[in-house]
Chains A and B, each alone.
Chain A
């Protein structure tokens, strides 16, 4: 294999890209994330799933200055590299969960910190999940030990339009800005089906039906389109004309929706049933926005080709079902069917929506893969690894920076004790931007403020 070293021009371009995309975002609540002090590491002789669908056996990886700088056989050891023997072990990109409620539904699950659903109005595009995140949630560290290096936190699904989601690096810190993934776009959470119509219908308020749901989305997008026209009109004026006229009044709700129409904010749509997903695609076409991913999508297998044709990912569980009527038609090969649609151009993601599931996304992918193979699909483990790495990275808009083991990308890397498709495999070392964030052998791991001295004043919670 060819040895590739990082291209300095590439990193320059990357920095430029990040600063440009930041301009189009709100200037408040900017990411202040800075990596932890990195180590320069040679992961020696490991077996690699690169997250882009490839498997490389007995191969080395060099992590340097927070980036992946080389992948290849028998890479030269230089003096400043710490060598980690990965023989008979496996290396993958950091796992990414595209559907998490960590921080907004933290542990312990108490009413005073249950901040994921602003269920006071069916459209709350003005709220941002990051403003609810409790940074001391002990769940972040548990997810880290499951190999999760980045995760996307969404508002809940009580509302038709629930607000903005945020992508974070899994380095727990005492402000959310210092955890936010630099340059990552916001998402907009939308929800179909039973939840919004139940929450508001029970109050004798719209929506109380699925047709009420659809009317609700469309009314919002009509308002958003009008707002965007005014905004565009103002922005297209000459400098002089701008001084003469008034700038359109800021509107938090419409700013978010207009951000979607401009393509700056990615739509993540909770939707179970096939016919509802098809309708959501119609609505997106009607108003000229794109749906990045359907979430939960228990019936995605019924419209897998439609999803592939529209370049929409489906973020799915391996086997959850039956808790609601719209989740009744589960098939275990849902993920595989989505993946294989239109000659393998489908985009399948294994998501968790669960503080336990997020710790074992590799096992969830393993179940989904096994079901796909039983259904007769020829899917490799290397390909299935995409479901929890590069595909969620693409859906979060961070694929250029992370989500696969590729020269130039962030050194978000997990060393596994054995093949990660086995239940017995444990994450041994987790690197985030080249910094060792978890080390099973030495017991190096974060503890949130919540974990400190809460059972035994002299110990951490997890050490009990």
Chain B
């Protein structure tokens, strides 16, 4: 009897403790109009967040310490910006705040260690609906080179993201050389990448010995770091984003993809509509700016406001970018413009969410499903209307702050105006 009573007390104590722990990081969002990032139609449901992940997404009701009634508002995965300088450039024209370009390395240059979680761009873009971003270095002198990293925009000094998950490159019209040489160089670099074997990469001294015999290494002034990055590109099928616009250049890139079995993503792609069947056939995802219809160079003559709709029709997976200048959330407006010009609404949402995670192999992001990261947004209204704004932004299950420096400045000049501005 005695022991049994003790047992009962013990059990109930444990239950209380367990409930408290469970409740402490359980959030239930009810009555949400859910665009989950993968389905073609929205559905009304409830989302249970637990330990930073989505525990359930269904009609089911749960008890949770925090329950947020979305009142039928739209809930989407957090939007992902696929082409940014977030965390590595604070003020464009101030070189001391730019950490996007190297001096010595090129192919193996990584921006990861420069990332500043306290950058003002992070709360700004988060408060406008971006929960994670791919930050990319400036293009190097080499047609392939420079490593980008993926970051959660949660302002945590303890950075969560994925280091060096993509290599970048560029080909097209240039005032300094023929694109034919750029393509030749690209092939030479890829040949070099695929010639590095697993034994060579074991030690730096092996790499140095290997490098000794190769003229291209001298010509491009490559270092051990660069060789390691090339090895990763060839052997880990690192995603390779090549910025390219002209239709004929895109076809040449498709040939290179086939020859080397590259994990190729084409960015810019202003003339993709002219070669859309080939792009679709080879399953190449594109990063495009749907609002950019300017024939800004002789490589971009086919630029058209209806390009996103036509590329979607062709069965191509799209991601959206905006000019690399602070307002990466403007991919929402771009998506709205794409829909206004014929793209499907669900397709535009995918272009802001799951198309990224599929292209880059980050399955926990960009989609609302059981087990995925709880990166999600409750919107004031249609998120593709640029007048809308997030009401709640969760990143890894955390209800993040939507305060920004900009809001602080605003309030300083519309409130308490009887005091001098610096004392408000």
Chain A interface residues toward B at CB < 8 A: 107-111, 138-139, 142, 194, 301-302, 304, 319-325, 328-333, 337, 355-356, 359-360, 363, 366-367, 369-370, 374-376, 421-426, 454-455, 461-462, 464
The 9 closest A-B pairs by CB, nearest first: A423-B336, A370-B387, A323-B92, A322-B326, A331-B410, A324-B93, A424-B340, A367-B386, A366-B387
- Tell yes or no: B339 within 8 A of A by CB: yes
| A360 to B386 CA separation, bound complex (whole angstroms) | 11
Interface centre among B297, B304, B305, B325 (most CB of A within 10 A): B305
Q: Which residue of B lies closest to A424 (CB)?
A: B340
A329 closest partner in B (C-beta):
B409
Contacts of A367 in B (CB 8 A): 333, 386-387
* Centre residue among A109, A139, A461, A464 by max chain B CB count within 10 A: A464
Q: How far is the CB of B313 from chain A (nearest CB, A)?
A: 15
Contact B414 A337 (CB under 8 A): yes
Task: Say if the beta carbon of B91 comes within 8 Å of chain A.
Answer: yes
Q: Is B293 an interface residue (CB 8 A)?
A: yes
Of all chain A residues, the one with the shortest Cβ separation from B339 is A424
Interface centre among B94, B121, B387, by most A CB within 10 Å? Answer: B387
Interface centre among B298, B305, B341, B410 (most CB of A within 10 A): B410
Q: Contacts A324-B91, A363-B386, A461-B301 given: A301-B410 contact, CB under 8 Å?
A: yes
Give Cα distance in the complex from A425 to B333, angstroms.
Answer: 13
Q: Closest residue to B90 on the A side, CB-wise?
A: A322
* Smallest CB gap from B327: residue in A: A319
The verdict on A323 contacting B295 (CB below 8 Å), with A366-B386, A464-B302 known, is no
Given A109-B297, A331-B406, A360-B291, verify A323-B326 contact (CB < 8 Å).
Answer: yes
Question: What residues of chain A lie closer than 8 Å to B337, measured between beta carbons?
Answer: 360, 363, 423
What total of chain B residues lie within 8 Å of the partner, measured CB to CB?
46
User: Is the beta-carbon distance between B413 and A301 smaller than 8 angstroms?
Assistant: yes
Secondary structure at the B interface, as helix, strand, loop or mixed, is loop
B314 on the A face (CB < 8 A) = no
B residues contacting A by CB (< 8 A) are: 90-94, 120-121, 175, 273-274, 291-298, 300-302, 304-305, 325-327, 330, 333, 336-337, 339-341, 384-389, 406-407, 409-410, 413-414, 421
The complex places the Cα of A322 from the Cα of B300 at a distance, in Å, of 27
Residues of A within 8 A of B294 (CB): 107, 139, 142, 355-356
Query: Would A322 and B384 count as touching, CB distance under 8 A?
Result: no
Chain A positions within 8 Å of B413 at CB level? 301-302, 304, 331, 337
29 pairs across A/B with beta carbons < 8 Å?
Answer: A107-B294, A110-B297, A110-B298, A142-B293, A142-B294, A302-B413, A319-B327, A320-B326, A322-B90, A323-B326, A324-B93, A325-B91, A325-B94, A328-B91, A337-B413, A356-B293, A360-B337, A363-B336, A366-B385, A367-B333, A367-B386, A369-B387, A370-B386, A370-B388, A424-B339, A425-B340, A455-B301, A461-B295, A464-B273
Given known A301-B410, A321-B326, A461-B301, contact A423–B93 (CB-CB < 8 A): no
Give the distance to chain A from B197, nearest Cβ to Cβ, in Å. 44
Q: Pick the residue among B341, B385, B410 that contacts A375 (CB under 8 A).
A: B410
A461 to B294, CA, bound (A): 11
What's the least CB distance linking B349 to chain A, in Å? 14
Closest A-chain residue to B304, C-beta based? Answer: A462
Q: Given the complex of chains A and B, what is the CA–CA distance between A94 and B413 in angstroms?
A: 33
Give the Cβ gap from B90 to chain A, nearest Cβ, in Å: 7
